[in-house]
Structure 1
């Protein structure tokens, strides 16, 4: 079962407190692109709604399946223009997703580096 780690709304007062994040489940919705059911939640402090999809790297994508295909293609040295041709999308779409993937990878590596330095592994 998924438990949201924090309220995704910028400026929510729950982020400033040292207490556990308080939320409740608030239904679900059917995603059109792949037919999955997505769990919805509501923050009990700011009363804003969000879902499990909010925390994913492919948040707000109309074609989330394209994310994994692009990762594999770009890691296999396929150019961005050729990837756009292969998947039948605009090259601007590939460029935006490439930038987003780079941001996610950078944030992931910075978090792992922080964990290692806190554990005393890397100076």
Structure 2
């Protein structure tokens, strides 16, 4: 059973620190691509949301296998090649790559947020810790 991690409303008390049973189920709905999607409502701010709110495929019409997209990107396949394999348009593949890259950037930012560097860092020509005039 899906348990929402937090309230999607950034002004709600349950957005940053949800405590206890802060939501209740309000029914479900179906789409052409998903048979049943559960709906929820926050007890504090009364915002309605669904299981798709926390999905990478939010506002998409159908799901694509992100593992297939990622494995082909790692092997340097092009967008046209991916669109032929998955039988979708090039703009759909570009959108899914953008969604995947945003998730990767968010994961990287959350993993490195508590990291403190005790020395200067240089990676691929990017310098952190030096003024621009010294580079």
Establish whether TM, by shorter chain, passes 0.5: yes
Where does residue 24 of structure 1 map in the other structure?
24
Aligned length: 117
5 Å-filtered alignment, 1:51-66, equals 51-66=50-65
Q: CA deviation at 1:96?
A: 1.6
TM-score between both structures, scaled by the size of structure 1: 0.75
Report the TM-score when normalising by structure 2. 0.69
Of 101-110 and 15-24, deviating more is: 15-24
For the aligned residue pairs, the C-alpha RMSD in angstroms reads: 2.6
Runs (5+) with no aligned partner, structure 1: none
CA offsets, 1:47-85, max 9 Å, x none?
Answer: 221112211112222121343432232223211121112
Q: In the aligned structure 2, how far is the partner of 1:77 from the partner of 1:85?
A: 15
- How far did residue 42 of structure 1 move? 0.4
Higher helix residue share: 1
Q: 1:27 is paired with a residue of what secondary structure?
A: strand
Give the distance between the partners of 1:52 and 1:67, measured in 2 at CA.
Answer: 18
Per the alignment, residue 101 of structure 2 pairs with: 102
Match of 2:46? 47
Larger Rg, first or second structure (1 or 2) = 2
Structure 2 gap segments, 5+ residues each? 119-135
